[in-house]
Amino acid sequence: MKHIHKIFSGILLVTAVFTTMGCQDKVDDSDLYTFTGNTIASYLEESDNYSDFAYICSKVKLSKRSESSIAQLLSARGNYTVFAPTNSAIHRYLDSVFVQKDYDITQVPDSVAEYIVRNSIIDNGNSEAYLTTDFLVGALEKTNMNDRYVTVSYGNDSLTGKANTMINEHSRIINPDIKVTNGVVHGIDNVLQMSNAYLPDLIEQTPNLKVFAYLLRQTGWNEKMMQYRDEDYEQNHEEYGTDINGNRYPYPAHRYIGYTAFVEPDSIFVEKWGIPKPVVENGMLQNGPEIMEVIKEKCAKEYPQATNADMRSEGNAVNQFVSYHLLPERLTLDKLVVHHAEMGYAYNTPTQLSIDCFEYYETMCTINRRLVKLTEGKQTDGKRINRHCKYKTDVSKGEFYEEYDVDRPGILIEESNNKYINNALNGFYYTIDDILVYDDDVPNVVLNERLRWDVSSLLPELMTNGYRLISDNQSRPFPAGYFSTLSTTEACKFWYMPYYSSTVDNYQGDEHNVRGQYDMVLRLPPVPYYGTFELRIAAPTNTGFGMAQLYLGTNRDNLAPIGLPLDLRQNYANPNIGWEQDTDDWDHNIENDKVLRNHGYMKPPYHDGIKNSGGTVITESMRNSTRYASYLRMRKIVYQGTISPNDVWYVRVKSVLENTNLSFLWDYMEWVPKWVYSGPEPEDIW
């Protein structure tokens, strides 16, 4: 049958790169070139194993407005990763879909062809296509042509014991790393399938998650996780923004909405809470009410103040138990805890972890604002929820943030769920190995510490849409209204800089740079308990930055000014700041720290450092950088006062200069309890 699928032959006349799917409707033929090597298209077409996939690619158009096909795209310049199902895999899939043996491939409907093809192809843009040596457990960074993440897992063949690389849990790579002129092909033994279910529905469909799915339905949280894409943005957003010089740059093509859920498998509820063993018939939980009685009793003990009897109310104990498992952003496994610029780490060897890194995410409950802490480092044995320990922090003694007195190991986030798909249309779920509750020790012990956020982690849309620390150095503009937690005026020129491989002095490597006549308001994360806290933000000290008035408070529309305008143009050594280089004399260093605090400043944290060219091990801390002293991201003490955990605090930043070339920088922020910054022991430098 190979003659049916004959698409290309001989030496190809190939079109130039098709770069941006959202902006072009056909393959550009303005830059033709000739070569004798195989493209992805010609390799697939000429192969005895993948010619059916090549044929289906010829049926799928680039878009509804386009006459060019995916096959033509795969014959063009570019960098594409293709997970190509074998001919037998395609026939098995079609036979199962249409319940018909030996289904005629020439009759495949457009919708089915689109599903097969678009799920299988990743456009890597200016980056190299993925080889298996680039794979890590979890989602690949680039999404496929359906804007869906492709996940990688590993296992052993049950018969041969050989190691397998699995794509989306069910497609095994059988012919890896076929390099061609415009990318890489990986042959797979099953059509690469994606769940089109929303996250609550995918949890419902997963055989070992029936109890949590039942809790989602009973509390109504399933209904609050059914958004996927901002359709108003799809139809009405401006395609391009401009910089301060009037140059045009594309805005994001989409504004996706997503979620993450940490989920106890049924077996954990049985083991830890002693619920009756779930009875499931035809995929439905039959003894839900009986199970619920046990869960109500357990939740009442963990959430004694939540006495509302209505389980759909956020004042109900079961409702609060469920909501503490849910985050309002879609997080891939590798971005649950970000590793990039911490001391002792090298981003070009990402599996070799160094010191512990943390993320603090606000969960979805609105009347009780609560944080969940995620920790990962070489000492934690995986990603952990609400881990607590002490650290050795005295650099003068050679200590390097080693853990000790681990009094709360934390709940393990599992990398996979027994080969069940965890990748929903609008989010991911991750199974956990213990019951997750917000007990008294979470706010009073686990979170009773200096809390530091990279500002990127405060922007759900940045994470959901895959921009946080994306592996390139390309600056990206965002329009006003794109972020739910940060509002900007139209005069703001808001840019995100991942600076993935740049040697800059930023916490976690990235930054947000705002120019123009900016005026913006950031919704701050909650504190863990009622008490006195200090608010700090990153403050660069360089003439390329501007001056801004800061405002703070809980009334978003009437925030009070805080102090004098913050002048980011001042040099770090200015007497108003007083930074001095650390020396081997730590008594001197501590005295300089006191001088800085008296001026309302602190040195940058020692935890992160200056990346090296090539991504090698980081040894120079951003606290004491000599290479980038003029770009120090100092800590500016903005406010000290009493804060309630359920209050919503905002910080407003408004330019006070006419020069629109001078910028404001968002890098990181801290909430710090009084016992840390004004306790019997000095605050550590990490």
Q: Where does 68-158 have alpha helices with state H? A: 70-73, 87-98, 110-120
pLDDT at 26: 56
| Partner residues linked to 537 by β-bridges | 636, 669
Dihedral over Cα of 353, 359, 364, 370: its sign: positive
User: Which two three-digit tokens encode residue 382?
Assistant: 């995986």
CB contact at 8 A, 336 and 261? no
- Decide if domain 450-686 falls under CATH 2.60.120: yes
Left, alpha or beta for 466 (phi > 0: left; psi -120 to 50: alpha)? left
Angstrom distances, CA of residue 429 to CA of 200, 244, 425: 9, 41, 11
* Beta strand spans in 203-345 (E): 240-242, 248-250, 259-263, 280-281, 284-285, 326-327
Nearest to 248 by CA among 23, 517, 502: 23
Q: Measure the CA–CA gap between 227 and 198, rounded to whole angstroms.
A: 8
Which residues, including other chains, have CB under 8 Å from residue 336's CB and lie 6 or more apart? 260, 359, 374, 376, 383, 413, 430
Nearest to 59 by CA among 71, 48, 50: 71
| Partner residues linked to 154 by β-bridges | 165
CB contact at 8 A, 45 and 7? yes
Q: Measure the CA–CA gap between 332 and 141, rounded to whole angstroms.
A: 9
Strands 511-516 and 492-497: antiparallel
Q: What is the pTM of this model?
A: 0.92
| Partner residues linked to 384 by β-bridges | 375, 412
pLDDT at 3: 36
3-state SS of 627-677 is CCHHHCEEEEEEEEEEECCCCCCEEEEEECCCCCCCEEEECEEEEEEHHHH
User: Which two three-digit tokens encode residue 267?
Assistant: 């077996």
CB contact at 8 A, 374 and 385? yes
Q: Measure the CA–CA gap between 399 and 160, rounded to whole angstroms.
A: 47
User: Which two three-digit tokens encode residue 292?
Assistant: 């619920």
Angstrom distances, CA of residue 579 to CA of 181, 395, 537, 597: 53, 19, 17, 10
Per domain, the residue ranges of the chain are 2-131+179-188, 199-234+249-333, 450-686
Strands 183-188 and 80-85: parallel
Q: Which residue's structure tokens are 């061609």?
A: 180
Q: Measure the CA–CA gap between 420 and 155, rounded to whole angstroms.
A: 13
Nearest to 277 by CA among 294, 262, 297: 294
Cα–Cα–Cα angle for 156, 162, 168, rounded to 5 degrees: 45
Question: Helix (H, G, I), strand (E, B), or coil: what is residue 444?
Answer: helix
User: Which two three-digit tokens encode residue 184?
Assistant: 């890489």
User: Which two three-digit tokens encode residue 467?
Assistant: 């921009």
Angstrom distances, CA of residue 655 to CA of 454, 543, 576: 22, 15, 20
pLDDT at 25: 55
Which residues, including other chains, have CB under 8 Å from residue 491's CB and lie 6 or more apart? 516, 517, 518, 519
Taking the chain (686 residues) in runs of 10, the rounded mean pLDDT of each run is: 35 32 47 60 95 96 87 95 98 94 93 96 96 96 96 86 91 97 97 96 98 99 98 96 88 98 99 98 97 99 98 98 99 98 97 98 96 98 99 97 98 96 98 99 99 99 97 95 97 96 93 97 98 98 95 98 96 92 95 97 97 92 84 95 97 97 97 98 97
Q: Give the count of beta carbons closer than 10 Å to the beta carbon of residue 32.
A: 10
Q: Which residue's structure tokens are 């990181």?
A: 668
Which residues, including other chains, have CB under 8 Å from residue 107's CB and lie 6 or more apart? none
Q: Measure the CA–CA gap between 375 and 447, rounded to whole angstroms.
A: 12
pLDDT at 348: 95
- Give the single-character DSSP code of 626: S
Q: Measure the CA–CA gap between 492 and 22, rounded to whole angstroms.
A: 25
CB contact at 8 A, 71 and 46? no
Nearest to 339 by CA among 540, 129, 127, 507: 507
Q: DSSP characters for 145-212? A: TTS---EEEEEE-TTT--EEEEETTTEEEEEEEEEETTEEEEEESS------S-HHHHHHHSTT-HHH
User: Which two three-digit tokens encode residue 370?
Assistant: 């609560």
